Chains A and B, each alone.
Chain A
């Protein structure tokens, strides 16, 4: 279980988050929703350790941690809005790069990548470069890349906004499949229908009302 307590963040004197509490329950999907500019992505970036909170603390399974420690322990996987794939590497290499650099053997990393590519219907694209893929394929590569490190919590930043609206149901189906497999997920989205389709809990910003 991941808990955030009293998170505050200001940018250039403008208070974005103030004294915010949030709990992410194991095996559940939490959607963070709200209008643009309300700090949803900032909150996600604080959890991912890409932004430092001015105040507040994080607790992972009862112990106080820094986002950096969470990352070092391989707890978190992040799927960016624009995917952040490495254009100079094939789909396969995008997925195996981080595991091999952290000490996993190439053979083992390739095997795991093969399984993920199968699972996400990307086997045919294994040797393609990201620049040649569709938006939906890029997103699945980004998810496979995050999953290759065996995270316990997956964070998604606006997973539907860079995609064709018709693909929204596919993404929802995929996230629900991960949930059935026991993955804990945090989804930032401005799309209420999408949130309703995937979330066990909806956290509405800025006031943090839960539904």
Chain B
């Protein structure tokens, strides 16, 4: 029995090779290793979509989330601040309260009916950024609220400007507080990127699905799983390192 194929339920036949070892021949006529090498380029090309959706979404939605969280956590009582907070609450409610898949469909198929047309890539980034910024805004809002009021007041009496207070006193503390939650969302984002198939973009999971359907084998999907795990492993390590970096104080 071939150790590579049998756990995967491969329909391979055993052939005797010149060296006297038995190896599998799968449906494509090569060995399993050959088959893997054959489908990897398609999977990597799909993984590239996953990576740029991931990277662009993160780069835009985290700063956006920080800015929105400032609006959400303002305690000002003037009409403009109240209006902004009300609008932001509705925004986070809608984007956290409906499936990302639905938002993606609305952006790509729905918005053109009112004259707003996106190409596939822009539609994906638009929907993903709006969705993730809503989550990040709520996470950062929680972070800002977890910093004691006394920290703001201490900065005020030390005559720091509002910007200096945020930049040097508050945000460093908020980052430490929100890192675990942000890490969760970042890993979710890697996996959520598979939703782009719904508007016809080819990502990692779609590449695996196509190969599995064509070749009637689970090997491509196992590889897809491994590639996802490698990506999230790297991100988990980065998160751990960052948490360690901020662990120098209590």
Contact = CB atoms under 8 A, between A and B. Distances in A.
B250 interface: yes
Contact of A149 (B151, B156, B158, B176): B158
Interface stretch (A13-21, A84-92, A184-192): A84-92
Interface in A59-99: 71-72, 74, 76-78, 80, 82, 84-88, 97-98
Contact of A71 (B159, B249, B250): B159
A102 B250 CA distance: 27
Interface string B162-176: 001000110011001
Contacts of B116: none
A107 interface: no
Contacts of B169: 86
A101 B153 contact: no
Contacts of A101: 160, 164, 168
Given A80-B154, A129-B249, A87 B159 contact: no
Contacts of A77: 157
B157 A97 contact: no
Count chain B CB atoms within 10 A of each CB in A84, A88, A131, A149 and give the residue with the most: A84
A145 to B, nearest CB: 7
Contact of B158 (A49, A82, A97, A131): A97
Given A50-B156, A129-B250, A146-B158, 16 more contacts: A71-B156, A72-B159, A77-B157, A78-B154, A80-B153, A80-B154, A82-B148, A84-B150, A86-B154, A88-B173, A97-B160, A102-B159, A129-B248, A130-B249, A132-B250, A149-B159
Contacts of B156: 49-50, 71
A104 B148 CA distance: 28
A131 B154 contact: no
22 contacts: A50-B153, A74-B159, A76-B157, A78-B154, A80-B153, A84-B148, A84-B153, A84-B154, A86-B151, A86-B154, A86-B169, A87-B173, A88-B172, A88-B176, A97-B158, A97-B160, A98-B159, A129-B248, A129-B250, A131-B249, A145-B158, A149-B158
A77 B154 CA distance: 10
A202 interface: no
A88 B158 contact: no
A71 B169 CA distance: 19
A50 to B, nearest CB: 5
Contacts of B168: 97, 101
Interface string B124-155: 00000000000000000000000010110110
B200 to A, nearest CB: 47
A87 B250 contact: yes
**Residue of A80, A85, A87, A130 with highest tally of chain B CB at under 10 A:** A87
Nearest to B175: A88
Nearest to A145: B158
A170 B129 CA distance: 56
